[in-house]
């Protein structure tokens, strides 16, 4: 029920964005996450963007995981 899928914002018109989810374009409401720009990623839940996905944080998490996995 609490599924959230990341997608990239490709177009914004008022409070609706066209979001690319794995190659499919979907209309997503920005009522809960209005401060997004084209090219940014959002987390989608039941047709709403509920949060931005922070690329920098994602990279930092991955870097940390790689270091941990290598035992550094």
Which DSSP helix (H) or strand (E) runs through 58? helix 55-70
- Least gap, CB of 49 to other proteins (angstroms): 10
Residue (25 or 38) nearer to other proteins, CB:
25
Q: Which two tokens stand for residue 55?
A: 């690329």
How far apart CA 2 and CA 71 sit, in angstroms, is 34
How far apart CA 38 and CA 40 sit, in angstroms, is 6
- Least gap, CB of 13 to other proteins (angstroms): 15
Residue (38 or 60) nearer to other proteins, CB:
60
Which DSSP helix (H) or strand (E) runs through 2? none
Contacting residues toward other proteins, per CB under 8 A: 1-4, 6, 8, 10, 20, 22-25, 29, 31-34, 41, 43, 45-48, 50-51, 53-55, 57-58, 60-62, 65-66, 68-71
């Amino acid at each position: 029920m609490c599924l959230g899928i990341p997608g990239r914002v490709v177009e914004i018109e008022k409070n609706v964005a066209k979001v690319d989810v794995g190659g499919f374009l979907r209309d997503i409401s920005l009522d809960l996450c209005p401060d997004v720009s084209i090219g940014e990623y959002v987390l989608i839940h039941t047709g709403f963007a509920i949060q931005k996905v922070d690329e920098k944080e994602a990279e930092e998490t991955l870097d940390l995981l790689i270091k941990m996995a290598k035992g550094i």
